[in-house]
Amino acid sequence: MSTLSTPTAARLGLLQICLAGVLWGTGGLAVQLIRDITPMAVSTVSAYRMLLAAAVLVAAVLASRATSQVRDLLRRSPAHAVAVGVGTGAYQALYFAAVVHAGVTVATVVSLGLAPVLLTLAEALQRRQRPTPRQLLTLVAALVGLVLVSAYSGHAGTGPDLTLGVLEAVASGSVYAATTAFGRPLARTTDPLPLTTVTTTAGAVALLPFAALADGPKVTTDPAAVGLLLYLGVFTMALAYALLYAGLRITRSSAAVVASLMEPVTAAVAAAAVLGERLAAPGVVGTVLILGAVVLLEVEQPPDPAMPGV
């Protein structure tokens, strides 16, 4: 399946990934509101998120009569698609574990900050050339912005086991980067709906054992909590990852990860709007830096010759 690689198409891909980041940014607030209602473990909430998303996506596949595309993907690249799905579930679980052990600030800075660094270096090695000054400037602006937004978004502090939390955050960022890069060839050769359906279902299955072993209630009948769980599954998972895979078809992996830094910006704004958490001046500067980094992204992309399936 061929895709357009024009600057206009690349900008559209970047916009799709930015929108995915905005949706992801509301997820943390939704999880916090759910836990205010019921003491459900984060791993249980995460499993519900992926299960509900998988159910919605399967229904969409059936309604759009795209089952043949799902079968084609599973016949053509079953291990590849399942690995991307398991990776998606894994980096989410690792990130939430890092939040518990090291706090939101450390987990966010390390996990989301590490991914674009790894992908930029990997792409430079792949092309056997150094990152351009513009790429380095984009990366520095994004990372500085991320640190400022995370540190001044009202969630500063560390958890009970900083060392373990940092290791989990490093693992989360590494798996996130690898999953993004590994999933891009599939995203460029497969329509977003069947790809998102298969990967989300695989991730949900991978998270079920962790949810089963977690403490706390496994179900809730509270209407507000159920509504928030549905929001997490439909919007922050099914729709967001459909946008991500659509954008990855025409956007570089490192650009995609930088664009997804809209997540902490949205999280900070949502916390300020809903929870009354004031974003301090350095956090505002960080928001501007992240938005500036997205604008600086090089949207006129050459093909990736070393990447299969392109």
Compute mean pLDDT per 10 residues along the chain, 310 residues long, and list them. 58 85 82 86 88 94 92 93 92 78 67 71 72 76 75 57 79 86 84 91 92 90 94 92 82 67 72 67 76 61 34
CA distance 95 to 88: 11
pLDDT given at position 310: 25
pLDDT given at position 24: 82
CA distances from 87 to 92, 95, 99 (A): 9, 12, 18
pLDDT given at position 303: 40
Compute and round to an integer the Cα radius of gyration of the chain. 19
- Model pTM score: 0.74
156 sits in which H/E element: none
The DSSP output letter for 302 is: P
CA distance 35 to 64: 35
The DSSP output letter for 157 is: -
Q: Which long-range contacts does 89-92 make (Cβ < 8 Å, 24+ apart)?
A: 89/46, 89/50, 89/202, 89/203, 89/204, 89/206, 89/207, 90/175, 90/179, 90/203, 90/206, 91/172, 91/173, 91/175, 91/176, 91/179, 92/46, 92/203, 92/207
